[in-house]
């Protein structure tokens, strides 16, 4: 049982991946679900033929993915959408239909080893045997799941989902859409801080729709991080959605941005730097401002950016630290999450400055 759970967990669907599944559940119709099934099947077949599998294994997995796709399409066509007049049954059936989207991923992890070089099929005994001991060991995980579901009811609301979906057309995963939103006055304020040999990191719990939904999956209180050149945060900056004022990408922020719910809070830390390192960060930000930027929405699910200046908040802050040579831990920028910038400070480079509560 634990092996099966480990296989499921190894898929590592990130927060936005679960959000997209939730959106499918709330808004997808029959044609859309069928398109998703076809797309996933095509991707899995392509992955199989590019992987280092024996030829016979590739043929077998291709057949399995094709069969799963047929089962998925038949299920939603016969067992889901015809039930729309029977509301409770329809909701349950549609939930199963959406969960079937990730079934090919589970199949891949179940029939291959982690290095994707050895192919095997589990025996009936391996697949079916579940001991009472294993069931007891799984009880804590089930309790955590139920507790998370209770918390999710408050945070994953229809309003939040609609807000995120309505905001998606403003984003771009492949083009720079934010150009020159930082003004000469902002850079003048940055230069005025150059007598202070510190930069400042601010992790926040803003209460925005995206932050609330992401927190359900990260189980972290703070899901946004920003960079500032001064202790009072007059020069605070990060990658964000533009707060419906500017295009998504690199934008200056205000304290009002962080106060989107009762109980929102912000923790401020300082990091000692040389004035040359601080200027290097300012110069890089000016370069991004000239070249353009966009918010890396896709990066919340995957680990990649289509262009260098397409980032999300923690990716941006960590990249600036690396740019100046003051990063105090090693990670790939696309894997850094906001709380990593605090939790990975093993050498105590950061100094806690203060907390703001709204």
Task: Band the pLDDT of 131: cuts 50, 70, 90.
Answer: very low
Residue 89: predicted pLDDT: 77
The residue-averaged pLDDT of 338-344 equals: 95
Tokens of 251: 């934008």
Q: CA torsion 339→340→345→346, rounded to 10°?
A: 120
Cα distance from N-terminal residue to C-terminal residue, the chain: 45
Taking 90 as the threshold, does the pLDDT of residue 202 lie above it? Answer: yes
CB 194 within 8 A of CB 279: yes
Q: Report the pLDDT value the prediction gives residue 124, as an integer from 0 to 100.
A: 44
DSSP string across 94-126: HHHHHHGGGHHHHHHHHHB-TTS--B----HHH
pLDDT of residue 123 exceeding 50? no
Average pLDDT of 99-124?
62
For residues 106-123, give the mean pLDDT: 54
The overall average pLDDT reported for the chain is: 80
CB 320 within 8 Å of CB 284: yes
Report the C-alpha gap between 186 and 70 in whole angstroms: 57
Instruction: To the nearest 10°, report the CA torsion of 317, 322, 327, 333.
Output: 60
Confidence of residue 216 (pLDDT cuts 50, 70, 90): low
For 14-39, how does the pLDDT look when each residue is reduced to its tens digit (9 = 90+)? Answer: 555 667 777 778 877 888 888 888 88
pLDDT-derived band at 217, boundaries 50, 70, 90: low
pLDDT given for residue 223 in this prediction:
86
């Amino acid at each position: 049982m634990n092996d099966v759970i480990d296989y499921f967990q190894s898929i590592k669907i990130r927060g936005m991946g679960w959000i997209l599944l939730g959106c499918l559940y709330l808004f997808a119709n029959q044609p859309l679900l069928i398109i998703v099934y076809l797309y996933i099947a095509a991707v899995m077949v392509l992955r199989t033929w590019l992987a280092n599998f024996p030829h016979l294994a590739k043929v077998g997995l291709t057949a399995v993915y094709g069969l799963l796709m047929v089962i998925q399409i038949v299920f939603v066509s016969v067992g889901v959408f015809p039930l729309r007049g029977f509301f409770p049954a329809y909701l349950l059936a549609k939930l199963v239909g959406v969960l079937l989207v990730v079934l090919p991923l589970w199949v891949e992890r179940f029939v291959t080893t982690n290095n994707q070089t050895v192919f095997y099929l589990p025996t009936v005994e391996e697949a079916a045997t579940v001991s009472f001991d294993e069931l007891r060991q799984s009880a804590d995980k089930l309790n955590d799941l139920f507790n998370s579901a209770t918390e999710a009811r408050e945070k994953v609301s229809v309003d939040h989902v609609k807000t995120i979906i309505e905001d998606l057309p403003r984003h771009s995963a492949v083009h720079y859409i934010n150009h020159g939103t930082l003004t000469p006055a902002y850079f003048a304020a940055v230069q005025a801080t150059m007598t202070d040999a510190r930069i400042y990191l601010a992790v926040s719990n803003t209460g925005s729709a995206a932050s609330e939904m992401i927190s359900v999956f990260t189980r972290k209180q703070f899901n946004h991080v920003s960079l500032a050149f001064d202790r009072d945060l007059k020069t605070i900056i990060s990658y964000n959605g533009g707060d419906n004022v500017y295009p998504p990408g690199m934008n200056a922020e205000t304290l009002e941005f962080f106060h989107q719910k009762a109980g929102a809070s912000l923790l401020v830390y300082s990091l000692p730097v040389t004035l040359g390192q601080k200027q290097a960060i300012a110069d890089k930000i000016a370069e991004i401002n000239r070249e353009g930027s966009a918010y890396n929405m896709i990066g919340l699910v995957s680990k990649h950016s289509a262009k260098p200046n397409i980032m999300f908040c923690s990716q941006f802050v960590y990249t600036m630290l690396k740019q100046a040579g003051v990063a105090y831990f090693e990670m790939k920028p696309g894997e850094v999450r906001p709380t990593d910038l605090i939790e990975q400070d093993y050498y105590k480079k950061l100094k806690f400055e203060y907390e703001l509560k709204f």
